Structure 1
């Protein structure tokens, strides 16, 4: 796991692949809980019997569930241990090239794409590629943007 304690360490690592995280199995209970939280109960996600007859041969995770797991998946790759507050700023270029079937395992491959100076600290852009075990095409590709505030 890579730990960044200073802004300088971040500046020096721009363009580097930070690593690949641990596998996480996507279980039906997680998909159902996400459906309940978001109100998205489309049959392709929650009706196992119908989904088994559908285009993917079984239920699939919501794309936004996969996206929402990136912060968790990234914790086995890197940590931002800089002194000031950390704020989620947004996302760039989010795509879902391949669905995640229930029962498959996913992990995160992280690259430090950019570090930009701000008057109040740094804006950090991390490129995340969520891989599916045994599948060439990723489940999700997204750039997450975080603002790290100076400790003042």
Structure 2
């Protein structure tokens, strides 16, 4: 059965509540991230909600930093992993960035590096730990 994946930029509180619920489940619940590290920069970020057949399935965001544009908080609920939701989120976030977004980067969890490599991100620098999880900084090559 082919499921319909839809990714929308969201600003309404009801949609943001779904985004935050997904992140709470994945990062705080599954990955044991401290909640105080999870909830930061919300007001300055552009948020995205992925749905599969209308059901909330994934979330992500981007924000402008002093370095450039950072893609972050990519989370897909367990039941929807391996179905293209993560790829759809990356595509939507990249498509939404401003035209002048020359420096685009992210901190990828080790298991997600191959996903971002499909979109022309490359690892830069050594592995590091963030919120108790191993990451690589990745930079978009244009």
TM-score by length of 2: 0.28
Question: Which structure: larger Rg?
Answer: 1
- Higher share of residues assigned helix: 2
TM-score by length of 1: 0.26
